[in-house]
Amino acid sequence: MTNKKKEEKRTGYYVTGTIDMAAQGYAFVVSEESEEDIFVPFVNLNHALNGDKVKVMVYAKTRKHRLEGKVVEILERKKATFVGIIKIHANYAFLLPSGKQMPYDVFLPLSMLHGAKNGDKVIVKIKDWEPEQNNPTGEVVKVLGQPGNNDTEMNAIMAEFELPVEFPMKVTKAAKRIDENISETEIKKRRDFRDVVTFTIDPKDAKDFDDALSVKVMKDGLYEVGVHIADVTHYVTPETVLDDEAYSRATSVYLVDRTIPMLPERLSNGVCSLRPNEDKLCFSAVFKLNDKAEVVEQWFGRTVINSNRRFAYEEAQEIIEGAEGDCKEEILLLNRLAKILRANRIRQGALEFDRFEVKFNLDEKGKPLGVYFKQSKEANKLIEEFMLLANKKVAEKVGKINKIKGKAKTFVYRVHDKPSQEKLEDFNRFVTRFGYGLKLTSRKSITNSMNKLMNDLQNKPEQNMIEVLAIRTMAKAVYSTVNIGHYGLAFDFYTHFTSPIRRYPDMMVHRLLAHYLENGRSVNQEKYEEMCEHSSAMEQLSANAERASIKYKQVEYMTDKVGENFQGTISGVTQWGLFVELDDTKVEGLVPLNELEDDYYEFDEKNYRIVGRHYNKVYQLGDAVKVKVAKANLAARNIDFVLADAVHKKRNDMPATMEKHRQHRREKRNRRR
């Protein structure tokens, strides 16, 4: 039988999907035409890269009982530019790409370097890639600078995810033309809150203050709380260069040491920012609450405010903890109401993930001097609860009321689907090994037992690892015009109304709410759903860039600690090795399997562990281990560890076959590199 006939015999059918490439070089094709993702080995990718839309020929299931396929056509390239370091030879040059999702070097003719020098970090555009060529051909489109320089590396991360850093000149000029003076005519159109105690609470280094709270005790004993949000859409109108740029970016990006804003700084930090002692235009949600924090009356509309004070979270927290300070009575009142709102929300089934943020102490050149963790305290939760209340009530205003009248009007919701039963069961099986457990009989039992688990984990060695796994078990929240509710918050209606300076969907919500408050007709759902999908995709890219900047700083922090020992926890187990997270800094690195020389270890995927074939030594997710830093690779943004408390020397009685297995694995790893 010819090879062609053999292939035809194996061939099942064709599907179209998107490449999801793994760091190891293989990929999966995710397709709406297949319930199961299709495994594609590196040799069958045919130059397809991460995110590419492809046509794949699907084989029958392999011995591992999974669909396997081969890319037969690349229908659409996800990206054409890549970041990396130039290596120049006598007659040609190559780009050595950064990151893990471009597994080929890019050939560069010397005529296409455009001033780049050997060792520079650059952006390269792919110009040509013939089927018979192993490597694509490209040209340098921008020189970023020298590797290791902080600005170079942060800009490289933005370029890697194809996120813009600078604003086009026409956008900057349009921002400068905005008139920040507020006319008396405009003020008369609005509800005036300038005489009501109002303040902002934000991170101490923030400059874009897009939300403020006002509070007033009414004669009837109710509390009037105003959630005042910067009226960005008063200044940024549809079909303008400012709006087009904001939509394209869709979100601000928060790297370790800087913010790349969605709007030019004149708007984000100036005209729209709710700075103290300045009249500012807002779009507000105003609530009258009783002593039980129940909303007995609500109002939505445009306002003018004048913030009395700008608080950092730390300042507000000190007042909550008993210190004297401005607006003390108001802060304590709002905090009391916020705690009731939070308790009610959790009682109704909201999930309570109280994750910490990794932060760095940086010197003037951006070099990390230390790592610390930032956790939410009462001041953070005070703001969070009133933002959640406003977002919920705005969504109900449009969605709930109109459903009573008939078909709901098109709106932008923040939705969060329920987790799959299979993922919950897998997660539950894992946590039982630590003495925990979930009740999976109903939605209420799931959320109550999940919240109990999060509480029981406090200050335990396995806390961060299990919290990360719990979050991975959950679906991702996205923007959509199709309202399925928000599972994590236990809200039937939820949107994003409170951050229009940094999120485009909030601008969409402001415009739609204003339109419907004036009895406007329902807008085109298909158009807004497309805008929601774009916003969700850009939000994910932004999150990826933020994580990449954190990872870079973590690796940079560890570069002078090679050879040192640290205590850690196994945070991930793969067929290539063990991921270990250091307990004191949460830095994560890999212990390659081929560095474990005392046995041939096999991956037990179902039980999150590796097991020695000959001596039965087990390393399992959650195990405490001591590791030594073997390598900190800034270019690849990864760290290699070796186990400091393991037997590393080969046993004298090691079977000869074991060394052959290990050599084979080492060769495969080197080929991927």
Domain boundary among 45, 76, 107: 76
Q: Do 443 and 590 have their domain in common?
A: no
Are residue 335 and residue 211 in the same domain, yes or no?
Answer: yes
Alpha carbons within 13 angstroms on the beta-carbon side of residue 546 total: 15
Q: Do 585 and 649 fall within a single domain?
A: yes
Q: 395 and 531 in one domain?
A: yes
Q: 3-class DSSP state for residue 403?
A: helix
Q: What is the pLDDT of residue 664?
A: 54
pLDDT on residue 67: 87
Domains of the chain: total:
5
**Is residue 359 domain-resident?**
no
Burial of 3 (0-12, 13-18, 19+ CB in 10 A): exposed
Report the interhelical angle of 443-456 vs 463-473 (nearest 10°). 160
Q: Are residues 490 and 618 in the same domain?
A: no
Q: What is the per-residue pLDDT for 665?
A: 53
- 402 shares a domain with 286: no
Residue 161 located in a structural domain: no
Asked if residue 355 belongs to a domain, the reply is: no
Q: Where are the beta strands (DSSP E) in 41-97?
A: 53-59, 69-76, 81-88, 93-97
Q: Do 495 and 617 belong to one domain?
A: no
Do the beta carbons of residue 566 and residue 582 sit within 8 Å? yes
Residue 168 counted as domain residue: no
Same-domain pairing of 36 and 113 = no
Any domain includes 156: no
Q: Are residues 317 and 224 in the same domain?
A: yes
Reduced to 3 states, what is the DSSP secondary structure of residue 631?
strand
For residue 514, what is the enclosing H or E element? helix 504-517
For 316, the 3-state DSSP assignment is helix
pLDDT of residue 671: 45
Per-residue model confidence (pLDDT) at position 314: 96
Helix axes 378-405, 504-517, angle to 10 degrees: 40
Task: Let me know if residue 155 belongs to a domain.
Answer: no
- pLDDT value at residue 672: 44
Closest Cα to residue 451, out of 414, 497, 488?
488
Residue where one domain finishes, among candidates 321, 343, 365: 343
| Average pLDDT per block of 10 residues along the chain, 673 residues long | 43 86 84 88 91 89 74 92 93 88 89 94 93 92 93 94 95 96 96 98 92 96 97 97 98 95 97 97 98 97 98 97 95 98 93 82 92 89 97 96 71 94 88 89 87 86 80 92 94 97 98 96 97 97 94 94 93 89 90 86 86 90 91 89 70 52 53 44
Q: Are 554 and 537 in contact (CB under 8 A)?
A: no
Inter-CA distances, 625 with 358, 503, 575, 597, Å: 22, 41, 18, 17
Pairing of strands 279-289, 223-230: antiparallel
* Residue 11 pLDDT: 55
322 and 217 share one domain: yes
Q: Where are the alpha helices (DSSP H) in 521-626?
A: 525-558
My answer on whether 89 and 45 are in the same domain is no
Do 85 and 72 belong together in one domain? no
- Residue at a domain's end among 38, 53, 76: 76
* Residue with token string 């969504």: 395
Q: Is residue 136 part of a domain?
A: yes
CATH code, 634: 2.40.50.140
Q: State the pLDDT at residue 247.
A: 98
Answer yes or no: is 195 within a domain: yes
Closest CA to 496 of 401, 416, 392: 392
pTM for this predicted structure: 0.88
**Integer CA distances (angstroms), 475 to 260, 356, 494, in order:** 27, 20, 16
Query: In terms of residue numbers, what domain contains 433?
Result: 380-550
Query: Residues 313, 203: contact at Cβ < 8 Å?
Result: yes
Question: In the sheet that 198-202 helps form, which strands lie side by side, from edge to edge?
Answer: 191-192, 295-306, 279-289, 223-230, 211-217, 198-202, 309-312
